[in-house]
Amino acid sequence: MSISGHQRHHAENAGVDVAEYWERRYQERDRVWSGRANPVLVDVVEPLPAGTALDLGCGEGADAVWLARHGWRVTAADVSATALERASGHAAGAGVADRIDFQRHDLARTLPDGSFDLVSAQFFQSNVELPRERILRAVAEKVAPGGLLLVVTHATVPPWSWHPHEDAVPTPQEELAALGLALDDWHTERLDAPARRVTGPEGQQATVTDNVIALRRRVR
């Protein structure tokens, strides 16, 4: 019986410390990500009034800076000190450092304090074993009444991606069910898998899909 690409990567990285893994990955290159905000975040959040936001796994800070530029006060969390240092520099260069609180967390162990009008988990996936659903359930509790939980994951990835290529990909509905949320407390605003074109490091083109879950906490 074969195992999926995702399981294979986890098997290969069994016992690897999460912080060490991501530190090594960030230190291998001067920049890992594009520096542009994730497109689903922009599409979903741009029409919303600004408030407080939690950016989960903020990486080099592109989403946090975009949110701050649009008036949000952001708490941005990541396990990598190198990523957070770069993100802080990015925020300072954009003139929004005073609107972002960068915090280092191994999110399987600790989470930022407070409640938020937006909790954003953009591609919160890892090649190292991660209790992803447990973390997402915990951060969902930090969404304020009337606030939005936005979870976006890779449903498919381009051929050049470092992410594991899954043999079986869950649907957005299956991903939502796996979170185990009390859905009576939420209004589903989006639950779909839109396609988008992406460009690779050498100009390659591909079409990928993202699973999108956007839930609004009901005001009781």
pLDDT single digits (tens) 131-180: 999 999 999 999 999 999 999 998 877 666 655 555 567 899 999 999 99
182: Cβ–Cβ under 8 A, 6 or more apart, which residues?
none
For residues 128 and 6, give the distance between their C-alpha atoms in angstroms, rounded to a whole number. 10
Identify the pLDDT of residue 7: 38
**176 is written with which tokens?**
């939502």
CB 64 within 8 A of CB 87: yes
Name the phi and psi angles at 77, rounded to 5: -120, 140
> What value does the mean pLDDT of the chain take?
86
Identify the pLDDT of residue 167: 56
Mean pLDDT score, 37-44 = 94
pLDDT range class, residue 35, cuts 50, 70, 90: low
pTM across the whole model: 0.86
Identify the pLDDT of residue 17: 82
Share of the chain above pLDDT 90, in %: 63
pLDDT range class, residue 195, cuts 50, 70, 90: confident
**29 is written with which tokens?**
């290159």
pLDDT range class, residue 128, cuts 50, 70, 90: confident
Mean pLDDT score, 47-51 = 97
Closest CA relative to residue 149, chosen from 110, 176, 170: 176
Identity at 15, one-letter amino acid code: G
Identify the pLDDT of residue 163: 58
For residues 60 and 121, give the distance between their C-alpha atoms in angstroms, rounded to a whole number. 14
CB 70 within 8 A of CB 45: yes
Mean pLDDT score, 208-215 = 94
Identify the pLDDT of residue 2: 25
| Statement: residue 9 has pLDDT above 80 | no
Identify the pLDDT of residue 10: 41
